[in-house]
A and B are shown apart, each in its own frame.
Chain A
Amino acid sequence: MAHLLRRATFGPRAMDLDEAERIGFGATLDGLLTQTGPTPGTDPGAERTPVPPAERDPYAVLPKNADGDAKAAAVKAQKAQVVALTSWWVNRMVSAEHQAREKLTFFWHGHWATSAQKVRSANLMRTQQQTLYRLAGGDFGPMVHAMVRDPALIYWLDGQRNSAAAPNENLARELMELFTLGIGNYSEADVKEGARALTGWQLDRVEGTASFSPKRFDSKPKTILGKRADHDADDFVELLLAHPATAKFVTARLWFRYASGEPVPAQTHERLVAAYGAKRDITAALRAMFTDPAFAATRGQLVKQPVEWAVGAMRQLGVEPGSWKENDRKQLNAALDALGQVPFAPPSVGGWPAGAAWLTTSTTQVRLGLANRFANNVSPATLDAVASAPAAGRPDALARLLAVESFSTRTRAVLLDAGNSGKQADLRRQIALALASPEYCVQ
């Protein structure tokens, strides 16, 4: 049960675990999966952290003859918008009750990995994030159709430069390699022909929209994945969705981020693909994964990504970054950057790394520093809960607080040693060390 919550959500709190025990595994799983669907019900945590209103891209609205100073000011304003949007998302992930949906949205962000550092417009990134949130669960098809016309993705992969006159292959290639089929399931000819099917899309960076311009579209027949017709973007997407490799690829990606960095066992993979099925149902695939015997055996095989680690920790400690002063929020973003993962800023279209890549000496040091910051902002209620445990029982109290199965002898010794006076500073240090511990970071 705790394993399910640790994987399906960012960081289950003791009360979440208690509630799950009370209602049982089946009802808990149903609840989590309902969150990902079209009718998730109300989420007071999300309502407390509403999406910031769309703002025009300050650079895009500049007149053509704007001088250097105006441009520099606009670039600065763009960056400030992106930072604000990033802070909002982190805050939302911490606050939302529908943790499974938030985590799935973040999974999709890593899947369609688009970076504001090229796109630059907070407005475009916001639109993409909302699309991923809206279409997170259920049928994968609408998401792919939406993404080939998503302004941020198009700009990220030069889709607006792709025209009948001379196609630009960037988007077509990554669409097949990284988003749907996976490598080895298409030919170079498919890339070239697919690029032609994606021609015609243009961006309005002022309005933050993408539109189809028939003049720029290559309407001649193309052969994609063996089918010849005058395919357009939606036809191309349908071919990708119908291809058996897509089901295999997408379910393997879910396994990779939710279950284990080890390859999905063949029989489990078959079950996930079957659940995904003709309805291309992501929610059903998640259900199949979480209930698969192989999933239960993946304990200790997943390194928390930095955002997962930080969001889960803040939630468990009752830390609300939205109430922090601006400078502290900046420090949080800087620490996430030093850990190698900032929302809206994946390192490449391949998304973020996984596993041991997060476990370097440098990240260990940064993680401890950020854990210390969290511990210094812990809610009074959380601190009281830890303080109420007798000194010798504090490792167990921390394990309960942080949904850790149990701390090893090594970590227990460190925790006991760090907090024998029971003073507030000691308690905080114990919390931070527990957050930095191998048992918390690798679950």
Chain B
Amino acid sequence: MDTVTRRRFLVASGVVGGTALAAGAGTLTWRELFRTEKLRSGHSTGTLVLITLYGGNDGLATVVPHADPAYRQARGDLAIPGESVLPLDQTVGLSPSLAAFKRQFDAGHLAVVRGVGYPKPDRSHFRSMDIWQTADPVQPGNTGWIGRFLDANRAADSRWAVTFEPVLPPVLAGASKAGAAVTTNGLKLPSGYRTPMLAGLGRPEEESPLRARAARAFADLVRVDEMVRGLPEHEETEETEDGMPAATSTGGGKASLAQQLRLIARCVEAEVAPRVYSASLGGFDLHADGHEAQLTLLRDLDKAVGSFLDRMARTPAGRRVVVAVYSEFGRRVRANASDGTDHGTASDMFLLGVPVRGGLYGAPPSLTDLDDGDLKYTTDFRDVYGTLLADVLDTDPAQVLGGWTGRLPELLH
């Protein structure tokens, strides 16, 4: 099964309506990507890999405050005992699934930013994800923060921010520019169909923007055809046993994060143009029977990110990569009666990579002084974005974040 069957999360979101998208930005082929090599040579700027965990990852079962009696009391049977966690200090430890994260922490390459959130938290998946992707907690508009990073850089084009999923996530759509969804599968036409037919259907006409987009997809398809034999090292996409994608009620679906990160690794090693890569893992909305399922998901995350970082450490370009992991919200402090957790608010963010100064950052939210049953955030998510923009992407955060100037100055070397 090719990557097209990975479903996305753009549904109840108005964000995808960005003008850059309607104009047809947003697809790119492998070969085009690899042609961008020159754009990057001589550069020694950083690369950001942004990993979105769809569905609301349970922060308290990821970075576990096992020593806090309030934690054990609130989580009951779902509480992870202190002897099982991978300790970060005396009081908190990582989920037992996160062995590679723990290794990175011990090596000084994992920063855990505690209690990241935003004012007036919204507990809707769709709305909160809009807020995270647009970086606007008040009025999430139709541009993502990485899209605006492209807007802010005159030299930037769609090759600067890519995803290997079939549909562009809102975070990559700017006002005048948008990142690209890179296709990795070649063109297979039914017999009797020739490329000029597709090129013909791809010719622009005087027509509605959506119809123009449909035509543009044909033109893009022809470019895929041209490059099909030039693919570097083709890898099969993983699929579930019966070939059907797994679904969850909040999207993110069956994307194999490991597969996405392998593609990203090859691009980083080739020093091609992208400054930002977007990848995702879904399935975190565990209202019921959440314990085992979350352990499994975190294990997938850990394995994928762990091997990616091991690979990155081997090249100079890889050693400039910073991985940032976030979810739209954490979960309610108190478990529900279904051995699961309901939608929450603030949670921890992970930053990983050689440029990262490892450690615990920010104040852990109190488990007893709550906002309506949920954690109060202690670090504004825009402070983290600001740090990534300034220190990884060499871009003035205020320009991208609507004047926001907050930062975490010590986070990166």
Contact = CB atoms under 8 A, between A and B. Distances in A.
Interface of A: 79, 115, 117-118, 156-158, 161-163, 165-170, 173-174, 177-178, 183, 188-189, 191, 261, 299-303, 334, 337-340, 345-357, 359-366, 368-369, 372, 408-411, 413-414, 417-418, 425, 429, 432-433, 436-439, 441-442
Contact of A359 (B192, B213, B242): B213
Nearest to A442: B211
Given A348-B7, A349-B250, A353-B8, A188 B201 contact: no
A363 B224 CA distance: 13
B189 interface: yes
B244 A337 contact: yes
Given A158-B338, A348-B9, A348-B248, A301 B208 contact: yes
A365 B242 contact: no
Contacts of B201: 410-411, 414, 433, 436-438
Contacts of B181: 360
Chain A CB within 10 A, most for which of B190, B249, B287, B372: B249
A408 B204 CA distance: 10
Interface string B1-16: 1111101111110001
Nearest to B372: A188
Contacts of A168: 287-288, 336-338, 340, 342
Nearest to B252: A348
B4 A183 contact: no
B123 interface: yes
A432 B214 CA distance: 15
B156 interface: no
Contacts of A163: 337
A117 B208 contact: no
B207 A408 contact: yes
Interface stretch (B215-223, B303-311, B384-392, B402-410): B215-223
A351 B11 contact: yes
B27 A361 contact: yes
Contacts, number: 232
B370 interface: no
A183 B9 contact: no
A381 to B, nearest CB: 23
A352 B7 CA distance: 9
Given A158-B288, A442-B214, A166 B167 contact: no
Interface string B117-128: 000000111110
Contacts of A162: 337-338
Chain B CB within 10 A, most for which of A165, A346, A364: A364
Given A163-B337, A438-B211, A357 B126 contact: no
A360 B4 contact: yes
B343 interface: yes
Contacts of A368: 189-190, 193, 198
B246 interface: yes
A366 B189 CA distance: 9
A166 B337 CA distance: 5
Contact of A356 (B2, B22, B197, B218): B22
Contacts of A350: 9, 11-12, 125-126, 250-251
B27 A356 contact: no
Given A368-B198, A413-B200, 18 more contacts: A118-B248, A169-B336, A170-B342, A173-B123, A173-B343, A300-B211, A337-B245, A339-B4, A340-B4, A345-B247, A347-B251, A350-B11, A355-B17, A357-B167, A362-B4, A369-B190, A432-B193, A438-B211
Contacts of B221: 361, 364-365
B248 A417 contact: no
Interface string B206-241: 011011111111101100100000000000000000
24 contacts: A118-B248, A158-B288, A161-B337, A167-B337, A170-B285, A173-B124, A188-B123, A337-B1, A340-B7, A346-B247, A348-B247, A348-B248, A348-B251, A355-B17, A360-B167, A360-B183, A364-B220, A365-B221, A365-B224, A372-B190, A410-B204, A418-B197, A438-B212, A438-B218
Name the 9 nearest CB pairs between A and B, nearest first.
A161-B338, A300-B208, A347-B7, A166-B337, A348-B251, A350-B11, A438-B214, A117-B247, A362-B4
Contact of B249 (A115, A166, A418): A115
B214 A410 contact: no
B338 A410 contact: no
A413 B202 CA distance: 12
